[in-house]
Amino acid sequence: MRIDLRHGDCLNRLLDFDAGAIEIIVSDPPYELSFMGRKWDGTGIAYSPEFWGKVFQALASGGVVKVFGATRTFHRMCQAMEAAGLVLEPEDSLEAWVYGSGFPKSMNIAKAIDRMVDGEPEESEEPEEPEESGADGPTAPARSEEAQRWEGWGTALKPAWEPIVVGRKP
C-alpha cells in the first residue's frame, strides 16, 4: 500500500494529480454555517458541483470519498456530490463521528421574542452565554410577557455528532 499525503488548498492540490489517480479522498470542508461570522466557514465549496466534479475526475473508478459535514447542512453537500456524478447509496453512504465536547449553538427564545416585539431585526444564531452570567454580569431578563414565558429556553441541543458522507465513483 502507498500513502501520499499532501498539505494545501484542495482546489489547487487536486490539479497535481492525473485523472483517475486517487483511490480515496477524506475531506472536512467548511460547513457553510457562517459560524460566529467567520469568513472561512462560508466559502461555498461544500455545495459546489464544480468542486465535486474535480474530486470525481481525480478519483479512480470505484474510488471513495469520505466527507465530514454539519448535521443541518450536509444534505446540500450530498446534492452537489451527486450532481458531480458521485454515487451515494443510502445503506452505506452515511457514517458518523460521535463526540461529547462542544457547546450549543442556540438562539435564546425569550430574547428573540423581545426582538420581534420591539421590531428589531433578528440576529444570526450564535452560541449564547449561559443565562446565569454574561460578559457584563447577569443577563437582562425578558421584557415582554410572552418572552417571560419562554425564559431559559433555546433552539438547539449540544452538538454530539457530525455526519460523514461516503461517496464513490462508479
Written as tens digits, the pLDDT of the chain (170 aa) is 888 788 888 778 888 889 999 999 998 888 888 777 777 777 888 999 999 999 999 999 999 999 999 888 899 999 999 999 999 977 777 788 887 776 666 788 888 888 888 876 555 444 444 444 344 345 577 788 888 888 888 887 766 888 999 999 99
pTM tops 0.75: no
- What's the confidence (pLDDT) of residue 51? 92
CATH architecture of 10-100+160-168: 3-Layer(aba) Sandwich (3.40)
- What's the confidence (pLDDT) of residue 109? 86
Q: Cite the residue boundaries of each domain of the chain with CATH code 3.40.50.150.
A: 10-100+160-168
For 94-109, b/e burial (b = at least 16 CB within 10 A) is eeeeeeeeeeebbbbb
Which one-letter DSSP state was computed for residue 122? Answer: P
Query: Which of 18, 125, 3 lies closest to 70 in space, CA to CA?
Result: 125
Question: Would you say 103 and 129 are in contact if contact means Cβ atoms under 8 Å apart?
Answer: no
- 10 Å Cβ neighbour count for 80? 19
| Dist CA 92 CA 83 (whole Å) | 19
Give the C-alpha distances (Å, rounded to integers) separating 165 from 31, 93, 99, 144, 161: 13, 6, 17, 44, 13
